[in-house]
Structure 1
Amino acid sequence: MNPRQAPEFPAWPQFGDDERTGLIRALEQGQWWRMGGSEVDSFEREFAAHHGAPFALAVTNGTHALELALQVMGIGPGDEVIVPAFTFISSSQAVQRLGAVAVPVDVDPDTYNIDPVTVAAAITPRTRAIMPVHMAGQIADMDALGKLSADTGIPLLQDAAHAHGARWEGKRVGELSPVSAFSFQNGKLMTAGEGGAVLLPDAETYEKAFIRHSCGRPRTDRRYFHETSGSNFRLNEFSAAVLRAQLGRLDAQIATRQQRWPVLQELLRQIPGVVPQTVDPRADHNSHYMAMFRIPGISEEGRNALVEALVARGLPAFVAFRAVYRTDAFWETGAPDMTVEELAELCPHTEAITRDCVWLQHRVLLGTEEDMHVTAAIVAEVVAETLAAR
């Protein structure tokens, strides 16, 4: 008998007449960069309003969004920024590219978000920022992190690359800290292929970020008087036009994923050996960037084989992020004065998640309720086969 195959999930990215109309609108305005057009300005206003922030600055990608946010916060050489050990490498690299030191700390084994207890233990006199990453769209414990920030005076920079439209106890991302960063890379919940945004608290900070994202040049300058160091992080008009349409799709897509995840989560929970990501009830509007689950006790090789088997069955499955300190890139510059083994000892949950975690792309959660049952059945079959072969 042929193995059960996955249903045909909705394609990603999703697009339609709104994106086409926006691209034509950007084309016909005759100015295709932000300094002469209106699409980027309009997108910034709309994105900021949607996320409860006074201002948003659109940039070239999510990594640049983090880098620019850190610069605006005054992070530089010798400063320390606490990051989760379990995250995509951009979280730590944005710190390191500014000459600062990325200090990885452990995460919660159930939500996969940064653990406030490990954050508190890692604070030193050189700590200048704390970067919670909202893993898979679930907001980190902003109650505990906000209190820690208030008590220590160390600001929070939210890495919200997975958390478009997410909320914590009814509060939107822009209401949870003064600065946060988003990504619009091709797989993200809103996309123009690439792109990013920084949410900012006031006009003064926006202008400071604007100058840095435009090669250090004020918007009114005509004689090349560059006021500060910077780079070209400007988003183009075509990308902004697409993102305006994508923002219009976001809430309906989140509503579908919020309906589907509880179904899939419960089905996964019933599979022997599988533990799905736990949802913190305070994260009351979860954008569900990924459907994540663990197989505790499996080897990394076994997990990798399991993912390949899921892909062969038609599921968009991926291995989890590797602990940032277990990459060569992390040690090139801006690493703490510790060994891999010492960091691993401090991050046992990250070590386990790196080894045993699997994630399914969010388009799975845009399928039907029946699709969730088929998906879980395939996972159950592949997990049973993989564990039996150990």
Structure 2
Amino acid sequence: MSGLSASVPEFPEWPQFGDEERAGLVRALEQGQWWRVGGSEVDTFEAEFGAYHGTPHALAVTNGTHALEVALEVLGVGPGTEVIVPAFTFISSSLAAQRLGAVAVPVDVDLDTYCIQPEAVAAAITDRTRVIMPVHMAGQMADMDALDKIAADAGVAILQDAAHAHGAQWQGKRVGELGSVAAFSFQNGKLMTAGEGGAVLFPDQELYERAFLVHSCGRPRTDRDYLHRTTGSNYRMNEFSAAVLRAQLSRLDSQIELREQRWPLLASLLAQIPGVVPQGRDDRGDRNPHYMAMFRVPGIGEQRRRVVVDELIARGIPAFVAFRAIYRCEGFWLAGAPDETVDQVAARCPNVEQIHADCIWLHHRTLLGTEEQMHQIAAVLADVLGE
């Protein structure tokens, strides 16, 4: 396949920006107040982002990790409690609970969708469990029907880690319409970005008001006497980030539509390559924004996978190794870890043991490319794997 060794034509850049972001930054600059208490950009972004996802209760914060921390705190997570998290995820999912003094309990994921496995969640419930945290991996929503039932039966809350799921839907319902708290990230690589940033969606006003206090050092919105009502920290988003995110939100729909067109084509092409298994899709997740284009090469091994990823990058394809299992990260065990060994956790997470060692993902900007580029990606991958 020597004719396929050339680089793929350049994909669209990320982040994307235009006159909308420029106008927003100038608007925020000229209003004369650059923090949320005196400005209007954050308030307006919250209203727009919440409406887009089906709830009037949205809170903008400094980043996605802080979004999880704020959400967990208002859901009562702290010392003596446990939070069930997928073992295959970016480590912020567990660290947010651990930073609050809770124990993060990693469980297995589905081998097809890479989302948290409901039966593993059910087996991990104890009387200390306070929250179940599904991660909508790469935009594929977790099985919210099964998880809602498990949570209701156990009397615990759900916190959706929706860092990959801007604009996603589950059986026609938007993330904010599912009756649980959801946390988003606007880090530089995410589907919407201001470099950093986050947001939390709430199903009711009471939780939102509690979260507002937590994210603003315990201080009410109209306080002039420094009457801090609760603990918390400064998680407030600034006006410039909010202005950029308002512009980013305005183009999200068209980008999702294009990625939804490209992924079925790319997935079908990848599936034709011997040994390649694309991430599956649960069709109840009837709108997938495709934060990543993920696939497995079972049996490849971590060393060979790194060589393949490096070669894909060299040929113009933005490729990455998948997340490491959180229990195989040293930082996971420094605070708030379960009373188990690495091997014990690994034994009950057999799917994660496979996925974290053989999965590769491509940046979502690849799915903003042309149909021809989808064919080129598959051809280059086939060539690289055949070397």
Task: Give the match for residue 108 of structure 1.
Answer: 110
The answer as to whether partners of 2:132 and 2:157 remain within 8 angstroms in 1 is: yes
1:144 to 140, 146, 155: 146
Task: Give the match for residue 281 of structure 1.
Answer: 283
Gaps of 5+ in 1: 386-390
Name which of structure 1's ranges 170-179 and 40-49 shifts more when overlaid on structure 2.
Answer: 170-179
CA distance in 1, matches of 2:141, 2:13: 26
Task: Give the match for residue 380 of structure 2.
Answer: 378
Letter in 1 for 2:206: E
Task: Give the match for residue 302 of structure 2.
Answer: 300
The answer as to whether partners of 1:158 and 1:177 remain within 8 angstroms in 2 is: no
The answer as to whether partners of 2:305 and 2:321 remain within 8 angstroms in 1 is: yes
CA drift at 1:201: 1.8
CA distance in 1, matches of 2:39, 2:54: 25
CA distance in 2, matches of 1:155, 1:384: 47
CA drift at 1:147: 1.3
Q: Does 1:333 align with 2:325?
A: no
CA distance in 2, matches of 1:200, 1:122: 25
CA distance in 2, matches of 1:166, 1:7: 29
SS of 1:287 mapped into structure 2 = coil
Alignment of 1:192-211 (within 5 A): 192-211=194-213
Letter in 2 for 1:13: P
The alignment's C-alpha RMSD in Å is 0.8
The answer as to whether partners of 2:136 and 2:162 remain within 8 angstroms in 1 is: yes
Task: Give the match for residue 214 of structure 1.
Answer: 216
Alignment of 1:2-21 (within 5 A): 3-21=5-23
Letter in 2 for 1:128: R
CA distance in 2, matches of 1:290, 1:6: 18
Task: Give the match for residue 42 of structure 2.
Answer: 40
CA drift at 1:55: 0.6
Deviation per residue, 1:217-236 (Å, 9 max, x gap): 11222222211111000000
Alignment of 1:1-390 (within 5 A): 3-385=5-387
Deviation per residue, 1:172-192 (Å, 9 max, x gap): 001123211000000000000
CA distance in 2, matches of 1:264, 1:208: 44
The answer as to whether partners of 1:157 and 1:177 remain within 8 angstroms in 2 is: no
CA distance in 1, matches of 2:186, 2:379: 32
SS of 2:251 mapped into structure 1 = helix
The answer as to whether partners of 1:5 and 1:313 remain within 8 angstroms in 2 is: yes
CA drift at 1:298: 1.2
Residue correspondences, number: 385
TM-score after normalising by structure 2? 0.98
SS of 2:17 mapped into structure 1 = coil
Letter in 1 for 2:71: A
Deviation per residue, 1:257-311 (Å, 9 max, x gap): 0000000000000000100000111111000000000000111111111111111
Task: Give the match for residue 388 of structure 1.
Answer: none
Letter in 2 for 1:114: I
Letter in 2 for 1:14: Q
TM-score after normalising by structure 1? 0.98
CA distance in 2, matches of 1:203, 1:166: 23
CA drift at 1:246: 0.5
SS of 1:50 mapped into structure 2 = helix
Where do 4+ consecutive residues of structure 1 move more than 6 Å?
Answer: none
State percent identity of aligned pairs: 71
SS of 1:156 mapped into structure 2 = strand
SS of 2:386 mapped into structure 1 = helix
Deviation per residue, 1:105-145 (Å, 9 max, x gap): 00001100000010000011111110000000010001111
CA distance in 1, matches of 2:211, 2:130: 18
